Amino acid sequence: METSVLVQNGAAVLRGEAKAVPKELFGTKELSKILTSMTTALDTEPDGVALAAPQIGIPYRIFIVRYDRTLQTKRNESGALKPVPETKPDIGIYINPKFVRRSRRKAEMEEGCLSVRGFYGKTKRHERATVHAYDENGKKFERGGGGILAQIFQHETDHLNGVLFIDHATDVVEVEKNEAGRYERPQR
């Protein structure tokens, strides 16, 4: 069941509702191994900012975020995204997350997914979102954010509920890898 290979659209694990991580799993080597597998899988995808456990075939309510990769990028004169300088990974772990607040206002956002490679579309997401979750040791915390962080919370929670962004996206387009081997969001 545990792997670092990203599963793609069509895999049953992406369409099922993930189960809660039981209390007895917190602080164990088994949970640590799952988190390591998730981090390894995300590290192999330089354009990935977050990953849910079902995306590597593990049906638990866990997602991780690479905060260091959520930094804004700018386009160069030819329109290509300039790469963000690689920094030390800054990873947030969210186990058994639940929304406690979401803004009423929604914004249309560009979105893609590591498990639906090569496709991008427009989604409507709450502009701000706050979740309660647990860390790997079972300590409860709350984290809120706007913009890309709010989008990540919603996208990854969708994964935990068996929903893919393409289920509600509009203007979905297929894109090719660029010269650097990355899928790049289309310019619109």
Catalytic machinery residues? 156
- C-alpha torsion angle, residues 117, 21, 141, 57 (rounded to 10): -10
* Cβ atoms within 10 Å of 105's Cβ, excluding its own: 8
**Amino acid, res. 6:** L
Model confidence pLDDT, tens digit, residues 133-173: 999 999 999 999 999 999 999 999 999 999 999 999 999 99
- Output helix, strand, coil percentages for the chain, rounded to the nearest 5: 25, 30, 45
Q: Which two tokens stand for residue 37?
A: 């597998």
C-alpha 101: how far from chain center: 19
Percent of the chain with pLDDT over 90: 78
Domains of the chain (ranges plus CATH)?
12-107+127-166 (3.90.45.10)
